[in-house]
Structure formats: C-alpha cells, structure tokens
Amino acid sequence: MKLNRVTMLLVGAALAAPVASQANADLAAKIKDSKNWAAQAGDFYNQRYSQLAQVNTKNVHELQVAWTFSTGVLRGHEGSPLVIGDMMYIHTPFPNKVFAYDLNELKIVWKYEPKQDPAVVPQMCCDTVNRGLAYAEGKIFLQQADTNLVALDAKSGKVIWTAKNGDPKLGAVNSSAPHVFKDKVLTGISGGEWGVRGFIAAYDINSGKQVWKGYSVGPDDEMLIDPDKTTTWTDGAVKPVGKDSSLKTWKGDQWKIGGGTTWGWYSYDPALNAAFYGTGNPSTWNPAQRPGDNKWSMSIWSRDVDTGHVNWVYQMTPYDEWDFDGINEMILSDISVHGKPTKALTHFDRNGFGYTLDRTNGALLVAEKYDPAVNWATGVDMKSGRPITVAKYSTAKNGPDVNTKGVCPAALGSKDEQPASFDPDTKLFYVPTNHVCMDYEPFKVEYTAGSPYVGATLSMFPAPAASPSQKEGTMGNFIAWDGGTGKIVWSKPEKFSVWSGALTTKGGLAFYGTLEGYIKAVDAKTGAELWKFKTPSGIIGNVFTYEHKGKQYVGVYSGIGGWAGIGMAAGLDKDTDGLGAVGAICVISYRNLKVDSWITGTDRASARSKNNTQGDAPCFARTSLPLP
C-alpha cells in the first residue's frame, strides 16, 4: 500500500447538554453559546448535537469549500478541532502539534510542538492518532502520546504545567482526548495490548496536581470501590458489588497486567456530579491465560467527579474472548424507555449490542443488536445482564491454536471509538458502524514488560448483507437507532466501515464521513442523502460545526488512518497487515461564499483533488484505499 498524505475538511452554511452550576462555569458558558465548538462532543453529555440551523435540509446542497489547512503531519487524524470565539485550536497525531488559528485572518497565531521520544511510536497499538484537545478557563489541555498531560495558555501557547500520566517504556501511552469536568481534567491510559493495567485519573486544572486515580481492575481500594455502596446490575436488580469483586474473577496476579484501559470518550452529568466512561479488553487476547470474568474490564462506569468513588459499574462482556473493547462513548439523554421517562445512558459497544441504562443507578433497561450480523451471542439475558454466547464462536471453548471462523463482529467491533450523536428533536441516535466479521486464533504468549502482549492472530472480512438494500461485500452502515426500544429506525449502507464521528443539528441534518473521503449530510428523519463532498483523503475524524461572523460552518479532518487505515498510515504492503493515513483541513461555507484557501506544511506538489466538484479549494493531498 502507498503512504498517503492526509487532509482535514471543514464545511459550513448542538444542543448543548443541560448545564448546572456544578459544571466548570467558564466551559459551561462556552458550550451554551452554540457559535462555539468548545468540547470534543460539543457538550458534557456526549450528544454531538448543535442548535445551529442556518444549514438545513433545504439548503445543505449549497455547501461549498471555504478554506483548507494542512497540518503538515502524516498518519490518521481523529477527533476534531475546538472553536472558541474567533480562534480554532487544531491538533495532530504524533508528534501532537497544536495550532491556534485565527478565523478572522486565517493565520496561525501560535504553534506548540512537543519534543517527544520517537520510541513512543512503536508502543502505540493502532496508529499514532490523537483524539483532540480540551478547553477551560483560558487553557488548552493536550494529552500527549508519551503520557504527558499538558496545559497551554490559550492566548500564547506557553506551557502552564505538565503532569506525567504513565510510563511509555512499559507500553503505557495515550491517544485519547482529555475531558474537563468542574475544576478537574480527566484522562485515561492506553496499552491494553502491552499488559498495561487501566485507570482513570483526575488532575487539578490550575496546578496539574493529581487529585485521584482509580484503576479498572484489582483491589477495591485501588479501584476506589466501596463493596457496600458501589452497585452493579445482577439478578434483575441493582445490588452492591461486594468485597473483592474484581480479584475474585482473575487467576492469581493476572490482574496486575490485566488491561481494562480507558482511551475512549467521557461524559458528565452535573446534576449527579458523575462522570461516565468505559473500560477496554482484558490482557491477553488469549482467554485461556486469564480464566474468569476479568472484572472490571469491558465495563460501563459511573464515578463521582470530586472523589473518584465508583457509584456503579456494569460489565457488558465478561471473560472477553474477542477483543471487544468497551471504551466507546456513553451518551446521556432524557428519553422514554419502554414508555417511561428516563435519565438514560446509551452505549454502542464493540460487541455489537446497543445498551440503555438508567444513569442514576446503573439499572439495565435495553440491550439489543444494532447490526443484524452479530452472531457471537444471541442476545443479552436481561436478568443477569450477561450475553447469551454461542459455543461455535467461543474462542475459549475452541481453545488456543484453533482458528474460530466467522465471528461477527470482528475485533474492530460493530462500532469502534468513532462517536455517535443524539438528536433531541427526533429522539434518535445516529451511529457510524462497521459491518465486518473475523477469524480468530488465540495462542499462548509470555508477558515481557514494554513488549506487545496480544496472543492472537485474526483476519477480517465483510459481514453478510444485513438488509435487502445492502450489497454483499459492503463493510459499514450509518444508522438511526431508537434507544428506548433498541430498534434500528433506518440504515444507510456504506462501502467501507464508517469510521467518522457523527454530528446532528437543529437544521434536521446528520453528518458523517467515509473512509473513501466523502463528508455526507443526510435527512435525520429518513436517512436520505442530501449532499456529499469528496475530500482528498479518508475521513476518520469527527464532524463538528460552529458559527463565525454570522455564517455557519461544518468541518472535519480528512486524513485516513486509525485501526481502519493503519495499513496505509504505516506504509504496509499486505492487505492483512492493516485496513487502511495522513493531515490537513478543507472548510466548506454556507451558500455562495467566495472560495478562499490557505495551506501550510509539506508537499505542495500534491495535486488538487480531482474529485472536488463543489468548489476550487486546493486540498493538497493524495488518497487511495485498499479494497475490502
């Protein structure tokens, strides 16, 4: 595969989640003003919805490129920029550059480029991605790959403080975005494929001092679990987890290298003062080496933001046998569930099930397949909360050195980290999905600190057609989901996995990007495609929107990579070595805005996109994508 150059695209013409006094006042005010895109999800609830409606179902077809910006960095570009007033804050993959970009003058105000040891790169599992920045009280927060959490002055780019979050020499690295809740910035850790023991930590936004740290597995006190007060869903009710709830489910000291890392998206309910997030796969991928439920990997968590105390925890995939990381976003909404008004948490897990829980106590309310191809389990037992597994697809029952074939979904999941959106107008969730299956062969692996600790080989391929409208061989869908009933409302097939974060708006639109480089807008009610634009590279970034000088813009990074595009990102030659990276920006403006463009960085010799039919904006990038 050829190494490709990447671009970021912005196009233009959120319901801000409810904000209480407990939230960070400055950030809450920035979020409330829908002209900004002040947080990675646009709000605290992870809804990824905007109140902006200048671009709507009637005029979205008139979107044109406004401007482009090259980050000058190759590899996959995930997450999105932040927009605070007249300033856009742009991040990149390793080496994790940050640009402050003046939207009035279309020029760089400052640039931060950390000096990181390149030895960090081979410790990163699935491309050198970074999922974005956080903002609060005049500070920009960056979680670097080398685990340094950095606070920058938003006006000057100068470093205010730095906190070390892990040890890359042991495989502990970071790819996630930090999240600001109240006076703390929360961050997690990556490295489950290196035997890193997962945790979430809170740092004071002003000093960088660690306030608390809670592990995913191990002794109660280290997880910040109270055996009598922390609850879980079991036997049809919410009950205390009991003493040593994690230790009892591991063989010996395997929990010390047990994974459960925390590299996803976090949400926050100010009324409950609770943060919500998920934990990843247990280590190793060979289940024979870690018998037991491996709690609390593969779980949904609610923690008190002030103390880190665990309110409740629910495990989705006990004794994970397929690498179904549970880190995907937790979307908070107030919806009707089975006819009852509910303060809900909705989660689309990699295991292929869409979950709705009562976020106040962790009660399980809905658990249904959001891709009909899912076959490793027939369903979820609503009394126990455990999946009803199918022996044929059990890599544990089939044993090490046996290739278990045709497991759906693949380890990529029916959805990976690419975040879904919730539209409070339609009361539906809009979900970018993968439609991929796998063959999975575990094998024995020895742990060596700082070295990969995987213990399985697998191959991936398109799942069978999920509906009459889906062609055989297609690998993704963009769906609308009813979280109250657990049903697909409509589904739009795509050729490749949909690896872009979704956005919904008051204009009745749902936006997303595709791996072949299209940013698309569909009618949120029907799924009908209303507009698309071909960017120079595949899209794995999250679509965002903002308003500047009375005009709405919609934007996205165009730069293929991540797990879906690692083959291209790393210059691999064999299709089985990876699925699909590089970085820049195209911006499309509402209506007949005069096309303007600006570019910096490398490779000006790259050709203008031949597929650019919406305007004459130079997106200096090349693109190609391996066939499924």
Tens of pLDDT, residue by residue over 267-284, are 999 999 999 999 999 999
Strand order in the sheet with 159-164: 134-136, 139-143, 148-153, 159-164
Q: Is the pLDDT of residue 17 over 70?
A: no
Q: Give residue 563's pLDDT band: very low, low, confident or very high (50, 70, 90).
A: confident
Give the mean pLDDT of 543-553.
Answer: 98
Q: Is the pLDDT of residue 437 over 70?
A: yes
pLDDT of residue 622: 21
Pairing of strands 267-269, 237-240: unpaired
What are 372-397's pLDDT values in tens digits?
999 999 999 999 999 999 999 999 99
For the ranges 221-235, 347-361, 556-570, which has the lowest average pLDDT?
556-570
C-beta atoms surrounding 15 within 10 Å:
21
C-beta atoms surrounding 407 within 10 Å:
23
Distance, in Å, from the CA atom of 328 to the CA atom of 347, rounded to the nearest integer, reads: 7
- Contact assessment for residue 507 and residue 56, using Cβ atoms and an 8 Å cutoff: yes
Q: How many residues does the chain have?
A: 628
pLDDT of residue 577: 54
What are 256-265's pLDDT values in tens digits?
999 999 999 9
* Percent of residues, the chain, with pLDDT higher than 90: 82
- The answer for residues whose C-beta is within 8 angstroms of residue 26's C-beta and 6 or more apart is 136, 137, 138
pLDDT of residue 561: 85
Q: Give residue 20's pLDDT band: very low, low, confident or very high (50, 70, 90).
A: very low
Bond from prior residue into 284 cis (ω within 30 degrees of 0):
yes
| Residue numbers annotated as active site | 323
Average pLDDT over all residues of the chain: 88
Phi, psi of 447 (to 5 degrees): -85, 130
Q: Give residue 570's pLDDT band: very low, low, confident or very high (50, 70, 90).
A: low
**Pick from 29, 141, 24: nearest CA to 82:** 141
Reduced to 3 states (helix: H, G, I; strand: E, B; else coil), residue 493 is strand
Please give the span between the terminal C-alpha atoms of the chain, in angstroms, as a whole number.
13
Q: Give residue 106's pLDDT band: very low, low, confident or very high (50, 70, 90).
A: very high
Give the mean pLDDT of 606-622.
Answer: 26
pTM, rounded to two decimals: 0.90
Q: Is the pLDDT of residue 602 over 60?
A: no
128, 130, 131, 136: CA torsion to nearest 10:
170
Q: List Cα–Cα distances, 543 to 77, 382, 500, 521, 556, in angstroms.
A: 12, 35, 7, 10, 5
Give the mean pLDDT of 146-162.
Answer: 98
pLDDT of residue 458: 93
Distance, in Å, from the CA atom of 51 to the CA atom of 141, rounded to the nearest integer, reads: 25
What are 206-227's pLDDT values in tens digits?
999 999 999 999 999 999 999 9
pLDDT of residue 417: 95
221 half-sphere exposure, CB direction, 13 A CA radius? 0
Distance, in Å, from the CA atom of 256 to the CA atom of 241, rounded to the nearest integer, reads: 20
Which letter does DSSP use for residue 119 in this model?
G
Which residue's structure tokens are 């600790």?
A: 453
pLDDT of residue 575: 55
Q: Is the pLDDT of residue 204 over 70?
A: yes
Three-class HEC string of 329-367: CEEEEEEEECCEEEEEEEEECCCCEEEEEECCCCEEEEE
Q: Is the pLDDT of residue 131 over 50?
A: yes
* Region for residue 403 given its phi and psi (left: phi exceeds 0; alpha: psi -120 to 50; beta: otherwise): beta
Distance, in Å, from the CA atom of 406 to the CA atom of 233, rounded to the nearest integer, reads: 31
Q: What's the gap between Cα 400 and its chain centre?
A: 31
CA gyration radius, the chain = 22
**Ordered domains of the chain (ranges, CATH):** 214-416+419-498 (2.140.10.10)
Q: Is the pLDDT of residue 13 over 90?
A: no
Which residue's structure tokens are 């009852």?
A: 340
Q: Which two tokens stand for residue 187?
A: 């961050």
Higher-pLDDT residue of 469 and 365 is 365
Q: Give residue 125's pLDDT band: very low, low, confident or very high (50, 70, 90).
A: confident
Q: Is the pLDDT of residue 6 over 60?
A: no
What are 441-479's pLDDT values in tens digits?
999 999 999 999 999 999 999 998 877 777 788 899 999
Q: Give residue 168's pLDDT band: very low, low, confident or very high (50, 70, 90).
A: very high
pLDDT of residue 592: 25
